[in-house]
Structure formats: C-alpha cells, structure tokens
Amino acid sequence: MPIHRNEELPLDISVSKTAAQAAEDAELTRVRERLLELDPEGENFAAVLRDTIDQLLDGENTGRYDWRQLHKTEKTHAGTLVEINLQRRFDFSSGRDMDYEIAGVDVDCKFSQVLGGWMIPPEAMGEICLVVWADDQASKWSAGLLRADQEKLTRNGLVTRKGNRDHKYRLNKTNLNLISWLWYMRPLKKNLLLHLEDETRRALYAPTSGQRRVNELFRRVQRQRIDRNVVRTLAQQHDYMARVRDDKKRTRARPALREEGFIIPGDSRNHQAVAEALGGPVPGRGEFVSFRVAKAQPHHGDRPSVELDGCTWVAVAPGEKAESPAPKLPSR
C-alpha cells in the first residue's frame, strides 16, 4: 500500500474524545456499542484486513507480496472484498439501502488505502458510514464511524473528486475529527516478505523450485514468526504445507534443514513449548519459527535451553557454531 509520512497523519486524535461525539447521535452510538461488543479489541477486524490483503495478493498463484504489485482493477476491488469479508466474519445482515444492518441501523462500508481518502456517494449522505483504512507498508489500520452529514462535512472541508461522474465526495484530513474512532492506528499483522531486506528477499525468490524457496526462507529468516501465507507465497503450490513437513522426503524443510542444525517448531503445543524454552518467539496459530541450535556448552552461559533427544540444546545466532544434525522435534 502507499507509504505515508507519519508527520502527515493526525496522530493526536483521541478515541475517547470521538466516543463522546458518538453519544450525540443515538443511532451511531448503538452501532458503535454493537461493534465493540462483537470485537472489543479489534482482533477479528484486524484479521479480516490481513486476510483480505493476502487474498488480493494471491501469493499462491502469483508469488506477489506487495500492494504495489497489484493491478489497478485489483486495488479498486479491495473495498468490495473488505465489505464482503467483514460481513462474513461478523454475520452482519444486509442493510435496507446500505451495505449492512447493525443494531437495527443501516451502515455503509467504505475502505481506503489512504487515511481520509474515503469516497462518499450522494446516496450515503445522511447515513452512517463505517470507514476503514489499512496500510501494509506501515503495518497499521484504523476503523471508525461517520455520520455523512453534508453540511458538517462541507463546513469542515469536504472536497469533490474532480471528474467523478457519480459526484462522489472524498473526505480530507481536515474532517477526520468528525469520525468516531473505534480503533485508531492499531498494529496490522506484519507482512514478512514485504519488510525483509532486499538482499534477503532476492535470495528467497532466486530458486526456481518452490521447495528450495521455502527451505531458503527457514534458513535465512531465523527467530521470527513466519505465517503460513509466507510459505504459500514462496511455494506457489496447492499443497504448500507439505514443503515444511517432516516425512520420508528428505528435501522437505524440516528434514533437510535438520542436517544443517535447524529445527522449525510449528503451532502445536509441544512445538510451542520447545520455542518458549529456547527463548522464543513462540509461533502462534498457523505460524512457524526457525531456530539454529547447538548442544549447550559452558560458554553458552545461562542461555535458555530445551531438552531434546536426551541432550540440552540452545539457540545460536548466525555465525555461531551449530550442531549437525539438529534433534528431531517432539510429535504433535
């Protein structure tokens, strides 16, 4: 998504202040309370936005990892996908005239990749809009409610998009204070491939084989949570999880890299316990973490350790001596 300069964003906006604004509008208050009841911390909302961006990138079929790699028509379709995926996740009813009915109130959903860039059509004037923003580059997202009052918006600097035959209106930075923020500048789950150093990313994409790309991922990206979508994007195969599996095919990531001193815990309880014992990070649902390990020695001091295969193991940094092969992970 577009890169925004932090100094251009109105970071002084207070969520508590905008909550007070909502109290002036009974319908908006009902919608706000219902959304916060459904998702108090915004975790499900954030997951929908992460999944929608990944859906658009379609890494399994395209190998893409960056919003800027999308075609213009795909970017235009983002708002529709956000609307659909939010409705599916929260089971919103369809509105009478707008996208949703929430707490008995019609609500229109608007998504923009630019904070304050939401387009408000004439038919939404007077209605409540759920305005949503996400920036994959900044790993941030926001969502709030806006009563699209044309008089207030115009007085606060609403601008008309030039050449727009539908006569849609676009918000700008001067009227962001009219939004009752539900969640503001919350962290968006990091897009690992997007934020890797260029040299590392080029090395991951260099092999022509999906299996080799996945192996290179776990070899180069150590002690970071790696989401399965990253594996999917690099493998570019339908059965992408098989690229990690510990089985008789010695080319898979776990058996192949074990010969180089690596273990790759996943999200099972036993694997999470190993990662935690080694000092983390601990993989969450659908995640992996790669550790290069060595048998504990006096020079390792009180470094976190784990017992595997009858020996004590510690995680080592790149450049430190590791054991070859590494131990097998416990079963799930």
Instruction: Specify whether 150 is located in the same domain as 214.
Output: no
Residue 330 included in any domain: no
Calculate what percentage of the chain has a pLDDT beyond 90.
72
Instruction: Specify whether 181 is located in the same domain as 145.
Output: yes
Per-residue pLDDT tens for 195-245? Answer: 999 999 999 999 999 999 999 999 999 999 999 999 999 999 888 999 998
Going by DSSP bridges, is the β-strand pair 100-102/311-315 parallel, antiparallel, or unpaired? unpaired
What 3-state class would DSSP assign to 223? coil
State which of 165, 187, 209 marks the end of a domain. Answer: 187
State which of 187, 217, 242 marks the end of a domain. Answer: 187
- Residue 106: both structure tokens together: 């019609």
Q: What is the domain-level CATH number for residue 311? A: 1.10.10.10
Q: Give 286 or 174, the one with higher predicted confidence.
A: 286
Which domain range does residue 310 map to?
196-315
Residue 325 included in any domain: no
Residue 329 included in any domain: no
Instruction: Specify whether 175 is located in the same domain as 211.
Output: no
Instruction: Specify whether 151 is located in the same domain as 269.
Output: no
Per-residue pLDDT tens for 100-128? Answer: 999 999 999 999 988 888 888 888 989 99
Cα distances from 301 to residues 89, 222, 296, in angstroms, run: 48, 21, 9
pTM of the model: 0.85
Instruction: Specify whether 54 is located in the same domain as 138.
Output: yes
Neighbour-count burial for 304-330, b at 16+ CB within 10 Å, e otherwise: ebbebeeeebbbbeeeeebeeebbebe
pLDDT tier at 29, thresholds 50, 70, 90: very high
Extended strands (E) in 154-304: 159-160, 169-170, 180-187, 226-227, 262-263, 287-288, 291-295
Residue 321 included in any domain: no
Instruction: Specify whether 158 is located in the same domain as 81.
Output: yes
**What does the pLDDT read at residue 156?**
55
> Do you find a cis peptide bond into 187, omega within 30 degrees of 0?
no
Helix (H) or strand (E) holding 228: helix 228-235
Give the Cα separation of 123 and 108 in Å (integer): 10
Q: Across the chain, what does the average pLDDT equal?
A: 88
For residue 308, give every residue at least 6 positions away whose Cβ sits within 8 Å of its Cβ, in sequence order, or none: 263, 274, 327, 328, 329, 330
Q: Averaged over 23-33, what is the pLDDT?
A: 89
Instruction: Specify whether 122 is located in the same domain as 223.
Output: no
For residue 226, give every residue at least 6 positions away whose Cβ sits within 8 Å of its Cβ, in sequence order, or none: 192, 217, 218, 283, 287, 288, 289, 290
Q: What is the domain-level CATH number for residue 168? A: 3.40.600.10
Instruction: Specify whether 27 is located in the same domain as 116.
Output: yes
Please tell me the least confidently modeled range out of 55-59, 197-201, 248-252.
Answer: 248-252
**What does the pLDDT read at residue 32?**
97
Instruction: Specify whether 71 is located in the same domain as 147.
Output: yes
**What does the pLDDT read at residue 142?**
96
Instruction: Specify whether 95 is located in the same domain as 169.
Output: yes
Residue 293 included in any domain: yes
Residue 137 included in any domain: yes
State which of 127, 152, 187 marks the end of a domain. Answer: 187
Is the pLDDT at 6 greater than 50? The verdict is: no
Residue 102 included in any domain: yes
- The tally of domains found in the chain comes to 2
Instruction: Specify whether 181 is located in the same domain as 247.
Output: no
Instruction: Specify whether 142 is located in the same domain as 47.
Output: yes
Q: Averaged over 16-31, what is the pLDDT?
A: 72
